[in-house]
Amino acid sequence: MKEFTLSNGVKVPSLAYGTWLIKNERAAECTKTALECGYRHVDTAQAYGNEEGVGQGIRDSGLKREDVFITTKVKAEYKSYKKAKQSIEESLKRLNVDYIDLILIHCPQPWILFRGPKKFYKENIQVWKALEEAYKDGKVKAIGVSNFNINDLKNIMDNSEIKPMVNQILCHVGNTPIDVIKFCQENDIIVESYSPIAHGAALKNKEITAMANKYNVSNPQLCIKYTLQLDTISIPKASSKEHISDNMKLDFEISKEDMIELLKLNEIDYGKDQFWPVFKKRRD
């Protein structure tokens, strides 16, 4: 599996197993299955409420700790140094590990204020200081952010000792924030694409289906490959063994012309309104 190298030299598998909306009681089974299928990068978050299950699944897999790359995220609502520092310790405890490979600030604003007028620039610097401290102490191997736009990134870069190594963003066919991707890649920040299947909307899209048929692959496989060919890490989520395994079958190449056609598509997603009540309940 291809790896990306972060600005500090840490290597990250290009395909990650996403665990959003997988309940804690199923997370161990699903994580173990993903690792058995060949994944070596698992993505979770404090807000998902399944860190314990993810950690258990990694132990149940029988793999060595150093052979599995673990990403988690500080809750979007935690906007102080003290709260962030405490939350990192809690994640270490819930995952039951000595270190976390990558930890991210989950969002520049609390979710209820996402993309609103208040930017939380000063607060994010305080959270970032807690991440920097954990990094220097060896509790985490890499630090980054999620859902940050260019101004949010510049705020961290201009006011901190260590710049973000990763920015995990919503990126899929029909929603490709090229400006953010370009900025990150120009500044040696690895981009991770979450929800590459557009929260499931790509499964029924006619244009995507036609393109997938051309390559004799499934819609999810086409969409995952699309994000990989954008030179980003892809984070598909699945719960059945069949889908977990199928999402790894990516031995094909999308032509440059077809990548351009896919890039032209827009507004393919079920939208945040469908998922917000579930996510709000999780974060509470």
Give the residue numbers marked as catalytic.
48
Distances (CA, A) of 84 to 87, 105, 200: 5, 9, 32
Residue with tokens 């909307």: 201
Which residues have a Cβ under 8 Å from the Cβ of 145 and sit 6 or more positions away? 104, 105, 108, 152, 153, 156, 164, 166, 167, 168
In residues, how long is the chain? 284
Is the Cβ–Cβ distance between 70 and 44 less than 8 Å? yes
DSSP-assigned letters across all residues of 32-86: HHHHHHT--EEE--GGGT-HHHHHHHHHHTT--GGGSEEEEEE-TT--SHHHHHH
Which helix (H) or strand (E) segment holds residue 282: the answer is helix 272-283
| Cα–Cα distance measured from residue 205 to residue 227, given in angstroms and rounded to the nearest whole number | 17
Q: Where on the phi/psi map is residue 21: left (φ > 0), alpha (ψ -120 to 50), or beta?
A: left
DSSP-assigned letters across all residues of 192-219: EEE-TTGGGGGGG-HHHHHHHHHHT--H
Determine phi and psi for 276, rounding to 5 degrees. Answer: -55, -45
